[in-house]
Amino acid sequence: MTTLSTERHEEEAPRASGEEPRPAEAHGAEHEHAHANPVKVWAILCVLLVVSVVGPMAEIRIVTLITAFGIAGVKAYLVAKHFLHLGAERRYIAYALAVSVAFMVLLFAGVAPDVMEHHGRNWKNVAAAKEVERALHEAASDEH
């Protein structure tokens, strides 16, 4: 995080309202290049969307995972980078958001062994196992 010097107080003085904004400072002094054309990014996103819809149609599990979920990750990254301009923001903002995501991974890791799994060391979730069995049986009989 930035340390603050007393010069900041004086820096605020010359910035009387009415001065032109300085576009280069728009997103912190950190980005060296102009922003990518948002329409181009949008076009790429649309192509990715098409792939992510077409891919699962093949009904091959690994393809579905890569196209539906993998591409979701890529799309999210593109929106974050080129629309949210997260890359041009101070680093710690991205870290703070990453921490939020990390906590959700932690939540999943701590809860899934009890809720996702239906049996473990010395225990069985009989109700859940029964429900899965019942539902699959119903689906199988529906197909006939």
Partner 1 sequence: MAQPAIEETPGSGTRHAEETSAPPAGHGEHEGFVKKYLFSTDHKMIAKQYLFTGMFMALIGAFMVYAFRVQLAFPGSHVPGFGVVGPNEYNALVTNHGSIMVFWVAMPVLIAAFGNYLIPLMLGCDDMAFPRLNRLSYQVFFLSVVVLLISLFVPGGGFGGAWTAYPPLSSKAEYSLTPLGSTLWLCAVILEFVAFLIGGINFVTTTMNSRAPGMKLYDIPIVVWMIVIATLVFMASVGPLVAGAVMLLFDQLLGTAFYDPTRGGDPLLWQHLFWFFGHPEVYVVLLPACGIVAEVITVFSRKKLFGYKTVLYTAFATGIVSFFVWAHHQFVAGIDPRMANVFTATTVIISLPVAEMIFVYVATLYGGSIRLTTPMLWALAFIAEFIIGGVTGLFLGASGSDIYLHDTYFVLAHFHYTFVPIAIISVFAGITYWFPKMFGRHMNETLGKIHFWGTIIPFNGIFIPLFLLGLAGQHRRIYSYEGFPELARPELQQLRIIATVSLIVMLSFQLVFLFNFVRSMLRGRTAERNPWKANTLEWVAASPPPHGNFETMPVVYRGPYEYSVPGRDEDYWPQNQPA
Partner 2 sequence: MKPIATTRSATGIPTGRLAVWWLIASEIVIFGGLLASYVMHRIGHAEFGDYAAHTNTWAGALNTLVLLTSSLSAVLAHEAAEKRDGPRAARMLLFTILGGAVFLVVKGFEWTTEIRHGFTITTNMFWSFYYTAAGLHALHVIAGMIAMAFVARGALANRELQRVELVGNYWHFVDIVWIFLFPLLYIAK
What is the binding site for partner 1 (CB under 8 A)?
1-6, 8-9, 11-13, 15-23, 25-29, 99-100, 103-104, 106-107, 110-111, 113-115, 117, 120-123, 125, 127-128, 131, 135
Of residues 57 and 96, the one with the C-beta less far from partner 1? 96
Q: Which residues bind partner 2 (CB under 8 A)?
A: 1-2, 4, 8, 12, 21, 23, 26, 28, 38-39, 41-42, 45-46, 49, 52-53, 56, 59, 61, 64, 68-69, 72, 75-76, 79-80, 82-84, 89-90, 93, 96-97, 99-101, 103-104, 107-108, 111-112, 115-118, 128, 131-132, 135-136, 139
**Residue 13 token pair:** 């003085």
The 3-state DSSP class for residue 27 equals coil
**Residue 113 token pair:** 């062994």
- Residue 118: Cβ within 10 Å count: 16
Of residues 96 and 126, the one with the C-beta less far from partner 2? 96
> How many CA atoms within 13 Å lie on the side-chain side of 114?
4
**Residue 140 token pair:** 């199988």
Dist CA 46 CA 128 (whole Å): 39
Minimum distance of partner 1 from residue 82's CB (angstroms): 17
In 29-144, alpha helices (H): 38-54, 61-64, 71-78, 91-115, 126-142
Q: Which among partner 2, partner 1, none contacts residue 5 (Cβ within 5 to 8 A by kind)?
A: partner 1
